[in-house]
Amino acid sequence: MADRNAEHRIDQALRSRPPGLWPFLAAGYPSIGATEVILRRMGSLSIRGVELGFPFSDPIADGPVIQNAFTHALAAGTRVADIFEMVRDVRDEVAYPIVAMVSVSIVYRMGVESFVERARSAGFDGLIVPDLALEEAPQLATCAAAAGLRLSMLIAPTTPPERQARIAKLAGGFLYYVSVQGTTGQRAALPVDLSDHVQQVRAETGLPVVVGFGISTPEHVREVCGYADGAIVGSAIVKRITDALQTGADEAQVVEQVARFVDMLCV
């Protein structure tokens, strides 16, 4: 059982080490067993934490790479209960924080209190709910905080300062800064004004800022970690899985290819 007096894993990852990589994985892709093995392999790499996506049939901001991974996972029968069980199985073997990226529809379908309690019991450290309306966020924020989970909330380049302040009051752990408008996916270059925006958000909210969307290379990660508190890479990692499968790799080979790529992204 977790020590309630110990520093929270997300806070520790953000404060005790230089900014670094937060890989995203689509739970159940290519299988729930492979995801479990990848999570274990991540424990030997210099990552800061893992964002674990719950497959959903109608993702809000995910590009085609992650959408296809979710479709594959759902078709294979991946269930919410399977994800909780998998995280519970690996929790004591890895020290990094695990954050659930989940649609609010899944949370509401299970019930806010029930979902939060099951996430806490499984060993998740935080939640990211990208389609959670700000006006509906207080209930989940309160419930998550009571369970010791951090609710990281999204801020976009177009978020007005007043709304940004309201988001920051509810958020825990870190703010997820969406680097570009649109859906997730690999991009050749990051916005030229990204550094200015991130530093402004950090100064105005007082919260750590982790940047996602469009980050896909070691150079991107190094650049972002020069001014933010971390970098999330999702589509580029998921695409490595897809590419490996298309060349006929088995799951053991997929795991190794993903681990090598993630290791290359670490700063």
Q: Which residues pair with 53 in a beta bridge?
A: 26, 101
Q: In what order do the strands lie in the sheet with 230-233?
A: 150-152, 126-128, 98-101, 50-53, 20-26, 230-233, 209-212, 175-178, 154-155
Q: Which of 36, 51, 82, 125 is catalytic?
A: 51
- What percent of the chain has pLDDT above 70? 93
Residue 242 to residue 192: CA distance in whole angstroms? 30
Cα dihedral across residues 92, 210, 47, 214: positive or negative: positive
Query: Where do we find the tokens 């940004």?
Result: 164
Pick the CATH number of 19-265 from 3.20.20.100, 3.20.20.70, 3.40.50.300, 2.60.40.10: 3.20.20.70
- The predicted pLDDT at position 62 comes to 63
Regions in the chain scoring below 70 on pLDDT: 1-5, 59-62, 180-189
Give tens-digit pLDDT for 35-50. Answer: 999 999 999 999 999 9
Structure tokens at 42: 């991540």
Q: Is 82 in the active site?
A: no
Q: Which of 3, 58, 62, 256 is catalytic?
A: 62
- The predicted pLDDT at position 3 comes to 53
- The predicted pLDDT at position 1 comes to 41
The distance of Cα 9 from the centroid of its chain, to the nearest Å, equals 14
Give tens-digit pLDDT for 23-38. Answer: 999 999 999 999 999 9
